[in-house]
Amino acid sequence: MTTQAVKIEWMKAPARPGQAARPKSAVAQELAEILASGIPDRATLRRILATTDADELEVIRSAAEQTLLQHCGDTVRLRGLIEFSNRCVLDCYYCGIRRSNKAVERYALELDEIVETAQWCGQKGYGSIVLQSGERRDAKFTKLVTDAIRAIKTETRTPELPDGVGITLCLGEQSAETYREWYDAGAHRYLLRMESSSPSLFAALHPPEQSHAARVACLRSLKELGYQVGTGVMIGLPGQTLDDLVDDVLFFQELGVDMIGMGPYIPHEQAVLPGNPAVLDADTRLQLALKMIAATRLLLRDVNIAATTALQALSETGREQGLRFGANVIMPQVTPPRVRRMYTLYDGKPCLDDNAEQCATCLEGRINSVGRRILKNNWGDSAHFLNRNMA
């Protein structure tokens, strides 16, 4: 439980069978009809993001949940998150492990420990892992990742998973050659967040050597190489408007991505981007993040959407709420606890002291508590990717 945990009245469970549901307001009823009539347009997306009315929020949540169940089923797909190094050559203004933060102790796991952690995930039936780290582009780093991918693919084979666990990479901007090398080694999904689809907001979040255009080019190159591609944004950034967020969701659509990982912006004490009172309060940011999940689900329908850890940093039940608003992926923390604290991108990161075993037990209960079940021993690929490759 974090000190920022919030009580959210509008998240009350729906009425039980036999218990009469409270009648919806006329405006909420009208919104329900709009959402039932087809894919939301720009005006509807904006309305989804703008409302704070409890009846309308429940209409949005329920429509997103129905869309998810219809296009992706009721399973939650797990990716064990291995944060294998916090060494980083970039200096993103919002991030706790940015290059200039001298207060962070730096670490890098050895190949063996990375592979053992992935094996543990395979044995637990997680089906997939994510390799995440600070950004580096040197040859030693590229090789470590290639070796790790190869070893994980062979060492995690089981009768249930004859091709080993699925591997998602979250390693930032790289050359097309590096992306190809990692794909050929066996990684098949790549997550590269835009952080914001607005070029001006992107520029305000990053030093001049990083560019919006370069990131878009990376996403296109990943897609061309055959990866399942994911992107995402931070929600509730200083200076971000509702229209920026609408543009983000439409940008996901334009890019044709298969996966989305997005969450609330959470200030970090040693980062340069301002914290309170420059940002919306925690409750509002959480609500906005949940509405973004629902809006994305309603627009894109068959993509995988993660209920990210940042949601849980704002509320004890943040990730479950993410699932209820249309998310279908969870990334349980499996980074060895002794280094976990050193991978602090934002303040209030949850699960710092739990071991992977505790995280696994806690998670299954949380997923079942919202009426969903874990998809075990399966890569849990994006239905959008499978559909676009069948077409």
**Ranges within 189-228 binding ligand 5AD (CB under 6 A):** 193, 195
Select the residue interacting with ligand 5AD from 152, 266, 292, 363 (CB under 6 A): 266
Interacting stretch for ligand 5AD, rule CB under 6 A, among 144-152, 265-273, 315-323, 333-341? Answer: 265-273
Interacting stretch for ligand 5AD, rule CB under 6 A, among 157-165, 221-229, 264-272, 332-340? Answer: 264-272
* Chain residue whose CB lies nearest ligand 5AD: 346
Query: What's the min distance (Å) between Cβ of 119 and ligand 5AD?
Result: 24
Q: Which is nearer to ligand 5AD, 306 or 374 (CB)?
A: 306
In whole angstroms, give the CA distance from residue 381 to residue 70: 16
Query: What's the min distance (Å) between Cβ of 12 and ligand 5AD?
Result: 27
Select the residue interacting with ligand 5AD from 59, 64, 131, 234 (CB under 6 A): 234
**Ranges within 267-296 binding ligand 5AD (CB under 6 A):** 268
Q: Which is nearer to ligand 5AD, 234 or 298 (CB)?
A: 234
Q: Taking the CA of residue 360 as centre, how many other CA atoms within 13 Å lie in the half-sphere pointing to its CB?
A: 15
Select the residue interacting with ligand 5AD from 94, 202, 343, 385 (CB under 6 A): 94
Site string for ligand 5AD, 294-313 (x = CB under 6 A): ----------------x---
Look at the block and give the residue holding tokens 């794909």. 183
Q: Which is nearer to ligand 5AD, 31 or 310 (CB)?
A: 310
Q: Identify which of 387, 364, 385 has the alpha carbon closest to the alpha carbon of residue 76.
A: 364
**Ranges within 328-367 binding ligand 5AD (CB under 6 A):** 345-346
Q: Which is nearer to ligand 5AD, 153 or 215 (CB)?
A: 215
Select the residue interacting with ligand 5AD from 120, 126, 183, 265 (CB under 6 A): 265
Q: Answer for the pair 325, 64: CB distance below 8 angstroms, yes or no.
A: yes
Interacting stretch for ligand 5AD, rule CB under 6 A, among 40-48, 220-228, 259-267, 353-361? Answer: 259-267
Interacting stretch for ligand 5AD, rule CB under 6 A, among 55-63, 260-268, 369-377, 380-388? Answer: 260-268
Query: What's the min distance (Å) between Cβ of 310 and ligand 5AD?
Result: 5
Select the residue interacting with ligand 5AD from 28, 72, 95, 151 (CB under 6 A): 95
Chain residues that interact with ligand 5AD, rule: CB under 6 A? 94-95, 193, 195, 234, 263, 265-266, 268, 310, 345-346
